[in-house]
Amino acid sequence: MTEHVFREQPYERECAATVLHINERGGIVVDRTNFYATGGGQPGDCGLLIRTGHADTRIATAVYGDDKTEIIHVPAEHGDLPLPGDEVRLVLDWDTRHRHMRVHTSLHLLCSLVPFPVTGGQIAADGGRLDFDISDPGSINKESLTSELNRLIREDHAVSDRWITEDELEANPSLVRTMSVKPPTGSGRVRVVAIGDNGSVDLQPCGGTHVRSTAEIGTVAVTKIENKGKQNRRIRLNLV
């Protein structure tokens, strides 16, 4: 089992770890990691795995193993790989990770402004998008969304997370905004991300990484609203 350091410490740029094993494809599994694994529309982290006396191993991405208990670090090249038991340091490509955090948090703000169910989403280093099941397309436009997003960003709302029980989630189904992906259950608890005091701006289940406050996002712009079906509208935003 891999300890998810990124969950509680999203600003941890370096992490000491011990190699557990190398899988059949050359993926590296360690006991703890600050690398976010691909999921929820957010890409897996990239960076370096460093060992004393060896060349650095470039990590192209991180993904979950089949049973979701392990995080696999995928090397960019299958060369001099570490051995089980090796002590290593995992160093994030921080600029890329931080941009993902800024984009991910801005998409939560977008959710707070568009009161329709979310049907999909994607995060990249320069921006992201959310798809909404919108019954009244005329109720949204790029200019007003851009203005409102940047207002919320400037207001410098705190971003925090906490855990609730699965029973609490079941009693508050409106917390779940996504139609296609439901929060993982079975562990007895679910992580929720709150923006503003007690989630006054936005509150929803999420396993991704986020900035500490909305002001850290910086300026954003809604660049396109696309028709992706009878009611589905895709809203794209970029970091400026």
HEC letters along the chain: CCEEHHHHCCCCCEEEEEEEEECCCCCEEECEECCCCCECCECCCCEEEECCCCCCEEEEEEEECCCCCCEEEEECCCCCCCCCCCEEEEEECHHHHHHHHHHHHHHHHHHHHCCCCEEEEEECCCEEEEEEECCCHHHCCHHHHHHHHHHHHHCCCEEEEEEEEHHHHHHCHHHCCECCCCCCCCCCEEEEEEECHHHCCEEEECCCCCCCEHHHHCCEEEEEEEECCCCEEEEEEEEC
- What is the per-residue pLDDT for 180? 62
pLDDT in tens, 159-211: 999 999 988 988 888 888 886 666 666 678 899 999 999 999 999 999 999 99
- What is the per-residue pLDDT for 231? 75
* Residues 72 and 127 grouped into a single domain: no
- What is the per-residue pLDDT for 84? 97
* Residues 141 and 223 grouped into a single domain: yes
- What is the per-residue pLDDT for 137? 72
Last residue of a domain, one of 24, 59, 92: 92
* Residues 78 and 177 grouped into a single domain: no
* Residues 84 and 155 grouped into a single domain: no
* Total domain count, the chain: 2
pTM: 0.94
* Residues 86 and 103 grouped into a single domain: no
Average pLDDT, the chain: 93
Mean pLDDT on 125-153 = 93
Parent domain of 128: 97-239
* Residues 42 and 101 grouped into a single domain: no
* Residues 43 and 162 grouped into a single domain: no
- What is the per-residue pLDDT for 177? 82
